[in-house]
Amino acid sequence: MSLKTESLTQSNLAKSPLSNIDFIAYQGLARILHHSLIRYPEADFVQGLKDCDVAGSWPEFGHRQENSNGRKVLGAFLHQWSSDIDTRLLDKAVITLKLDYGQLFFGPGEPKAVPQGSVYLCEEQLINDRTTVELMDFYRVNGVELQLDFKQPMDHIGLFFAVLDQTFGRLHSEVDNQALVRFSQVLLQQHMLPWAFRCLALSNEHATTDFYRGIALLATDFLMQLQQDFQLVPKDVRLYR
């Protein structure tokens, strides 16, 4: 991804209120959420989360209930996870996760927590509808390019976290780049936050594993923190599911 934004120097700007944020840590959280939500899970990925103690090291932020519950349930899931078991048992555990991911985000049939924004924002509840086109235009104007492993609507919640991953990496060294800050604000306020909380609420409600329940809660809390950090009020829109 690239962003064609002009960097502004410290001499031209007051110190950014975002300057105390550890954007490298934020980048890591966005990357975890991207990989958790964009595709079916694999054993190596889950084991990697356990090895890195993701649940234990996840920031507590404002000590919201979503945070403490998310860290608890994800931590409990990862604690009992092990790749060093009988192959049949490991395969069964992975299949259970894949089935949960499928019924939440992919199918067959209507996913319980459709991950594309246009389904929530447009009355017809179609994929690649008007709001998807608006997001693509926003990306085009700002020079955002995403390299996709497979064809996917651009308003998939997992892809939003991919864009945030790259944006936070830049904000680490360009926190006073007001064009980049404004890009982040518009992306969140107008294109992501209006519907993402609903998607994650459905994920938490319908998840059959503590893995996806924990991911949904931690993603919700992270977006709440970003809303606070960037001082945003999400665009007031009607949701159609």
**In this predicted model, what pLDDT tens digit does every residue of 105-164 receive, in sequence order?**
998 889 999 999 999 999 999 999 999 999 999 999 999 998 888 888 999 999 999 999
108 preceded by a cis bond (ω within 30 of 0): yes
Residue 30 lies in a domain: yes
| Domain membership of residue 79 as a residue range | 20-229
Angle at the Cα of 64 (from 60 to 69), degrees rounded to 5? 80
Residue 186 lies in a domain: yes
Q: Cα–Cα distances in Å, from 148 out to 28, 145, 167? A: 19, 10, 17
* DSSP string covering 41-74: --HHHHHHHHHTTHHHHS--TT--HHHHHHHHHH
Residue 15 lies in a domain: no
What pLDDT sits at residue 17?
75
Residue 6 lies in a domain: no
Q: What letters, b where the CB count within 10 A reaches 16 and e where it falls short, cover 141-161?
A: ebebeeeeeeebbbbbbbbbb
Q: Which two tokens stand for residue 229?
A: 């950090």
Query: CATH number, domain at 151?
Result: 1.10.3480.10
Domain count, the chain: 1
pTM of the model: 0.93
193/228 Cα distance (integer angstroms): 12
Burial of residue 18 (CB within 10 Å: 0-12, 13-18, 19+) is middle
pLDDT tens digits, one per residue of 60-112: 999 999 999 999 999 999 999 998 888 999 999 999 999 999 999 998 889 99
Residue 115 lies in a domain: yes
